[in-house]
């Protein structure tokens, strides 16, 4: 029983290491792209809150209940000061 538990731990550690080695960067990039697309959608729908005269229609009002839970975090992200180097690719 002790051998199986130890073997499971070694296999899990190996699997986690290989995942981090091969997949982690891709996973983080997909998360960043997803966040950018969500922010763009929210900007199009709720842009008037920031003073941007964008579309104002029935579609906006129908989508509003789905966006309300994330509204505060989105407003903070949009109004946060951005550094130029944050958008630059990482230099290794």
Question: Is 91 among the domain residues?
Answer: no
Question: Is 65 among the domain residues?
Answer: yes
Q: How confident is the model at residue 84 (pLDDT cuts 50, 70, 90)?
A: low
Which has the higher per-residue pLDDT, 28 or 2? Answer: 28
In terms of phi and psi (left: phi > 0; alpha: psi -120 to 50; beta: otherwise), the region of 78 is alpha
Question: Is 46 among the domain residues?
Answer: yes
Residue with tokens 């029935």: 58
Question: Is 52 among the domain residues?
Answer: yes
Q: Percent helix, strand and coil across the chain, each rounded to 5?
A: 80, 0, 20
Number of compact structural domains in the chain? 1
Where are the alpha helices (H) located in 2-23, listed in sequence order? 2-22
In this structure, the number of other CB atoms found within 10 A of the CB of residue 67 comes to: 15
Percent residues over pLDDT 70 in the chain: 68
Q: Which domain holds residue 55?
A: 2-78
Question: Is 88 among the domain residues?
Answer: no
Question: Is 87 among the domain residues?
Answer: no
Which has the higher per-residue pLDDT, 31 or 45? Answer: 31
Q: How confident is the model at residue 11 (pLDDT cuts 50, 70, 90)?
A: very high
Highest mean pLDDT, choosing among 16-25, 36-45, 56-65: 16-25
Question: Is 84 among the domain residues?
Answer: no
């Amino acid at each position: 029983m002790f051998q199986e538990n130890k073997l499971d731990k070694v296999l899990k550690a190996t699997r986690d290491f290989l995942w981090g080695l091969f997949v982690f960067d891709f996973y983080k990039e997909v998360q960043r792209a997803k966040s950018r697309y969500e922010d763009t959608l929210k900007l199009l729908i709720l842009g008037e809150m920031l003073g941007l005269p964008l579309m104002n229609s029935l579609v906006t009002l129908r989508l509003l209940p789905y966006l309300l839970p994330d509204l505060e975090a989105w407003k903070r992200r949009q109004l946060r000061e951005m550094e130029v180097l944050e958008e630059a690719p990482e230099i290794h």
